């Protein structure tokens, strides 16, 4: 059903996106210091200023990652849905966007970067990726071989 030119699903998606962004910004900006009776500053919920700053940085990273992931997904969907490019070009662009989105997820949600302390995590992820690619590649080889034998 259309209401005012937009479907209910589109309106619901916009409302959910707006609520998620408002919630993220509220979490980032919501923890403020309040003066106590003796003149000292207390941080809400017993957090030290360093922990509060670290939490805000983490939440900002999550919000940026959410917006980037949403934008990349919407662009890939729009590219295919409205046929903005030829089939081969669209496939290449969607695969490129998928790789960029994987990098966004690694950086913003898994906090994997190229610092020395995170190299062990990066090696673990690369090894896991290699194992998954070998399994998928082997499965495809077997399936295509069976397909050729059936024809």
What DSSP line would sit under 96-107, residue for residue?
HHHHHHHHHIII
The pairing of beta strand 33-35 with beta strand 2-3? unpaired
* Beta carbons of 101 and 73 less than 8 angstroms apart: yes
The 10 Å Cβ neighbour count of residue 65 is 19
**Global pTM value:** 0.57
Note the pLDDT tens digit of each residue in 124-146. 888 989 999 999 999 999 999 99
6 strand-pairing partners: 3
- Residue-level pLDDT at 111: 82
Between 18 and 62, the higher pLDDT residue: 62
In degrees rounded to 5, what are phi and psi of residue 7?
-75, 165
Note the pLDDT tens digit of each residue in 47-70. 566 778 888 888 889 999 999 999
């Amino acid at each position: 059903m259309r209401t005012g030119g937009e479907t209910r699903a589109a309106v619901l998606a916009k409302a959910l996106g707006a609520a998620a962004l408002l919630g993220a910004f509220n979490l980032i900006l919501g923890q403020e210091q309040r003066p106590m009776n003796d003149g000292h500053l207390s941080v809400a919920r017993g957090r030290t200023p360093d922990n509060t700053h670290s939490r805000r940085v983490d939440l900002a990273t999550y919000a940026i990652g959410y917006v980037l992931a949403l934008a990349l997904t919407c662009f890939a969907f729009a590219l295919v849905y409205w046929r903005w490019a030829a089939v081969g070009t669209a496939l290449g662009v969607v695969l490129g966007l998928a790789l960029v989105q994987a990098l966004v997820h690694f950086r913003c949600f898994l906090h994997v970067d190229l610092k020395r302390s995170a190299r062990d995590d990066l090696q673990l992820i690369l090894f896991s990726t290699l194992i998954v690619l070998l399994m998928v590649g082997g499965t495809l080889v077997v399936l295509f071989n069976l397909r050729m034998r059936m024809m």
